[in-house]
Amino acid sequence: MIESVPTSRGIQGYSYTSVTLKKIATVIPAKLQRQNYFFWKLLFEQIFSRYKLMGIVDGSEPCPAQFLTDKEGNDLTDQINPAFEIWHDKDQAMLTWMRSTCSEHVLPFTAGLASSRELWLNLEKRFQVVGVSSEYRRNLAAAALATTDICDAHPDLLASGDLRLVPQVFQKYGKWQAFAGPVVTLKVFEDNTLVIELLSTKGEGRVLVVDGGGSMRRAVTGGMLARSAEIMGWAGIVINGCVRDVDEINECEIGLRALATCPVRPIKNDSGSGQKHVPVSIGGVLIHEGEWLYADGDGILVSSSELSI
């Protein structure tokens, strides 16, 4: 328990006083670095909204006056305003939560900041990345080629192996049935630290292909990561593993393929166990960084180069 927060003061619904630093550490899967700021922010927005604290950092719930006043409006400096005490306790709890999730490289940017809003705005000023528009995402989906047309137009590439069919073992999630783009590869096992790192950066219409070792024991992507991928402009995600928060994922304007769902969260490894930008094998099909992936309701194709029909 955060000792500075008196447990007798709760709020309607969820009580912020029940939040411990240990609980925050389980919700925020990686220490804040420059490259994962966007995902970190989304997670804290979810926490603050759940506990009705968002107004403190966005400025819509300003700090009440510190002292009560008399009939003439003069401060009674010996009488602390109870509303101020409650607001201040919440604010300092939030400041502690955020600082507890900062990496050693980010902590210096929190020095001397006395309120959660000051810290929130300072981090946003330093690390904020602008997401893409809804029109951009719609154009990504519209640009995807039909896999049947690709196969009909390029039988020679199918025969040579420059165009490969990925085995039909994936379930479909997300709003977009069809997506396409150059491939970015990851190889992980039940640890999504590197997935967070990449999906927090600009996608630029690319497709993240994650070899999760086919594990059915833990999910490596959930609703918040799908939301991050959507906002940052990733065209799609293909996971040789599991996802969770399916209802949230299905509300995202992105295409996602995974083997199945699993409610168990991934493990957390601050060192980011796994490999980036290496060849991965999905269902026996070798996929290299920079190749092109095309997916729709009929299947998934991987091409050595961008195709036209």
Token reading at 36 = 């994962």
Residue 224 marked in a binding site: yes
User: Whole-structure pTM over 0.85, yes or no?
Assistant: no
Digit-coded pLDDT (tens) for 10-24: 334 468 888 899 889
Residue 6 pLDDT: 33
Digit-coded pLDDT (tens) for 202-249: 999 999 999 999 999 999 999 999 999 999 999 999 999 999 999 999
Residue 4 pLDDT: 31
- Whether 269 has a pLDDT exceeding 80, the answer reads no
Residue 225 marked in a binding site: yes
Digit-coded pLDDT (tens) for 41-97: 999 999 999 999 999 999 999 999 999 988 888 888 888 999 999 999 999 999 999
Q: What is the mean pLDDT of residues 242-268?
A: 95
If one compares 121 and 309, the residue with the highest pLDDT of the two is 121
Residue 14 pLDDT: 62
Q: What is the mean pLDDT of residues 110-124?
A: 96
- Whether 271 has a pLDDT exceeding 80, the answer reads no
C-alpha–C-alpha distance, residues 302 and 288, integer Å: 9
C-alpha–C-alpha distance, residues 206 and 141, integer Å: 12
C-alpha–C-alpha distance, residues 259 and 240, integer Å: 6
- Return phi, psi of residue 198, to 5°: -75, -45
Residue 131 marked in a binding site: no
Residue 15 pLDDT: 82
- Contact status, residue 242 vs residue 216, Cβ threshold 8 Å: yes
Residue 76 pLDDT: 84
Greatest Cα pair distance, the chain, in angstroms, is 89
Residue 236 marked in a binding site: no
- Return phi, psi of residue 83, to 5°: -65, -35
Digit-coded pLDDT (tens) for 291-304: 999 999 999 999 99
- Residue 36: band (very low, low, confident or very high) from pLDDT cuts 50, 70, 90: confident
Angle 289-291-296 (CA atoms, 0-180°, nearest 5)?
120
Residue 270 pLDDT: 56
Residue 299 marked in a binding site: no
Beta strands at 275-276 and 255-261: parallel, antiparallel or unpaired? unpaired
Residue 54 marked in a binding site: no
- Whether 273 has a pLDDT exceeding 80, the answer reads no
Q: What is the mean pLDDT of residues 154-181?
A: 96
The total of other beta-carbon atoms located within 10 Å of residue 279's CB is 13
Average pLDDT for the chain: 91
Token reading at 161 = 């192996």
Angle 149-153-156 (CA atoms, 0-180°, nearest 5)?
135
Residue 204 pLDDT: 95
Q: Which domains are delineated in the chain?
A: 16-127 (no CATH), 135-303 (3.50.30.40)
If one compares 258 and 78, the residue with the highest pLDDT of the two is 258
Angle 245-237-172 (CA atoms, 0-180°, nearest 5)?
60
Residue 272 pLDDT: 57
Residue 85 pLDDT: 95
Residue 65 pLDDT: 92
The total of other beta-carbon atoms located within 10 Å of residue 284's CB is 8
Beta strands at 299-303 and 179-187: parallel, antiparallel or unpaired? unpaired
C-alpha–C-alpha distance, residues 119 and 205, integer Å: 32
Name beta bridge partners: 302: 164, 293
C-alpha–C-alpha distance, residues 267 and 277, integer Å: 21
Residue 35 pLDDT: 82
- Whether 7 has a pLDDT exceeding 80, the answer reads no
Q: Where are the beta strands (DSSP E) in 92-235?
A: 163-166, 171-173, 179-187, 207-211, 219-221
Angle 11-246-264 (CA atoms, 0-180°, nearest 5)?
75
